[in-house]
């Protein structure tokens, strides 16, 4: 399935999904429950701020093509579940990714078939940033220039998991969801801007195909910490030289591959310790550590406390 759309016109995208899949779209809620499953709540604020809460699983792969626009908009797309591996009967690994980009950035995302995915997206014009920050004079130059394409990737900051969970808990509550969506998106947006502000920001020189390719590489790295491919294996598989792979990966994800792997492991470790009942030995194994002490030492070095102390 191919889905094309403008971030400034999400209602048209959902209407087309309903048409392609014999579903229903009433201007707020998309329902498809046949071979492909979609459940979407899409709300509009102040005429052109959109918040979309998406739950989907499709039996066919989906290619989402973001069409660029001359409208100056910022979009944030959070994937909070997706690629999963198993330890016993427990699903353990999830995508915890945020993509932030502007309306000039072309890119494509491929969602594999039979992949459970939950997304939260919100999109707004530059001149409406004040409605999320509460400050008309907010300097957002660190996000990227309005007249250049830009694209940023970050792992979801741990502090916003509760906000994300709250959004999904109330998505079917007609009376509460509008106010809670908006208040929690403000919280999420402020956390994201703080995370991005700490970085050196450059305009994006990458094509949609390149971003798609490196998102696949990122997904492969995060899909199974027990069998993380080497840089040489990734370079051979994707037809890129090792030096070019490392250079472009660092530019797109703002850190070298090895540090990305370590940070992703640690963030997943904290999520598993906080939101699952897996014991510490199981979590160490899931994340590819040969011994629990290696895991505990790495976790303490990263966070300043041990896995046991986090759970106490």
Determine the average pLDDT of the residues in 41-61: 92
Cβ(15)–Cβ(5) below 8 Å: no
Out of 9-23, 75-89, 187-201, pick the least confident.
75-89
Tens of pLDDT, residue by residue over 248-258, are: 898 888 889 99
SS3 277: coil
SS3 25: strand
- The reported pLDDT for the residue numbered 87 is 29
- Predicted confidence (pLDDT) at residue 85 exceeds the cutoff of 60: no
Q: Alpha carbon 189 to chain centroid distance?
A: 13
Crossing angle of helices 257-275 and 292-303, rounded to 10°: 100
pLDDT band at 92 (very low <50, low <70, confident <90, very high): very low
- The reported pLDDT for the residue numbered 207 is 66
| Among 61-70, 87-96, 243-252, the range of highest mean pLDDT | 243-252
SS3 23: coil
Which domains are seen in the chain, by residue range? 2-197 (2.60.120.10), 208-311 (1.10.10.60)
Tens of pLDDT, residue by residue over 222-280, are: 888 888 999 999 999 999 999 999 998 988 888 899 999 998 899 889 888 887 888 99
Q: Alpha carbon 271 to chain centroid distance?
A: 15
Cα-based distances in Å from 99 to 75, 80, 281: 8, 11, 32
Cβ(181)–Cβ(51) below 8 Å: yes
**What count of residues does the chain have?**
312
Q: Is the pTM of this model over 0.85?
A: no
Cβ(100)–Cβ(143) below 8 Å: yes
- The reported pLDDT for the residue numbered 285 is 92
State how far the Cα of 312 lies from the Cα of 309, in Å rounded to an integer.
5
Determine the average pLDDT of the residues in 115-138: 82
Residue among 225, 237, 309 at smallest CA distance from 274: 309
Q: How much is the mean pLDDT over the chain?
A: 83
Neighbouring C-beta atoms of residue 275, cutoff 10 Å: 11
Phi, psi of 118 (to 5 degrees): -120, 130
State how far the Cα of 270 lies from the Cα of 273, in Å rounded to an integer.
5
- The reported pLDDT for the residue numbered 95 is 62
Dihedral (CA of 230, 234, 236, 241) sign: negative
According to DSSP, the β-strands at 29-33 and 37-45 are: antiparallel
Neighbouring C-beta atoms of residue 230, cutoff 10 Å: 10
């Amino acid at each position: 399935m191919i889905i094309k759309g403008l971030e400034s016109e999400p209602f048209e995208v959902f209407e087309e999904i309903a048409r392609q899949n014999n579903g229903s779209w009433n201007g707020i809620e998309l329902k498809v429950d046949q071979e492909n499953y979609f459940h979407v709540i899409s709300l509009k604020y102040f005429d052109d701020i959109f918040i979309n809460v998406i739950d989907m699983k499709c039996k066919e792969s989906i290619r989402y093509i973001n069409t660029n626009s001359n409208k100056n908009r910022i979009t944030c797309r959070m994937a909070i579940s997706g690629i999963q591996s198993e330890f016993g009967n427990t699903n353990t690994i999830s995508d915890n990714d945020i993509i932030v980009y502007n309306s000039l950035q072309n890119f494509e995302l491929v969602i594999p078939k039979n992949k459970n995915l939950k997304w939260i997206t919100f999109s707004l014009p530059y001149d409406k940033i004040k409605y999320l920050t509460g400050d008309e004079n907010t300097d957002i130059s660190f996000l990227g220039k309005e007249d250049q394409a830009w694209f940023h990737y970050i792992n979801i900051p741990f502090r916003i998991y509760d906000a994300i969970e709250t959004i999904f808990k109330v998505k079917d509550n007609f009376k509460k969801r509008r106010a809670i969506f908006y208040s929690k998106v403000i919280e999420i947006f402020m956390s994201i801007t703080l995370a991005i502000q700490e970085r050196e920001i450059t305009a994006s020189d990458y094509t949609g195909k390149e971003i798609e390719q490196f998102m696949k590489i990122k997904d492969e790295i995060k899909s199974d910490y027990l069998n993380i491919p080497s840089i040489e294996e990734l370079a051979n598989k994707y037809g890129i030289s090792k030096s070019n792979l490392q250079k472009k990966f660092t530019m797109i994800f703002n850190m070298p591959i090895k540090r990305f792997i370590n940070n992703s492991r640690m963030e997943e470790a904290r999520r598993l310790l906080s939101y699952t009942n897996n014991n510490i030995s199981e979590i160490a194994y899931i994340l590819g550590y040969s011994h629990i002490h290696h895991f505990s030492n790495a976790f303490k070095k990263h966070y300043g406390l041990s896995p046991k102390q986090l759970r106490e």
